[in-house]
Amino acid sequence: MAVTATDPLKIILAILLPPVGVFLEVGLTAHFWLNLLLTLLGYIPGIIHALWVILKH
């Protein structure tokens, strides 16, 4: 897992607006849509998923 210079920005966005952080990491893929759904259903699950996607990739 390589850490890039944009990872801190993505992590901050994942906490404030989880779908934006996921979008910057993977684009309009299934992870983005799942994160959008999780964020709408509950903010905390959206944050957890966003952080998982960002730190995994």
Q: What is the pLDDT of residues 13-55, one digit of tens each?
A: 999 999 999 999 999 999 999 999 999 999 999 999 999 999 9
**b vs e for 3-34, b when ≥16 Cβ sit within 10 Å of the residue's Cβ?**
eeeebeebeebbeeebbbbbbebbeeeebbeb
Under a CB-based contact definition with an 8 Å cutoff, are residues 34 and 25 in contact? no
Using an 8 Å Cβ cutoff, are 18 and 49 in contact?
A: yes
User: Are 35 and 46 a contacting pair, CB within 8 Å?
Assistant: yes
Domain ranges of the chain: 15-56
pTM: 0.89
Check: CB of residue 31 under 8 Å from CB of residue 46: no
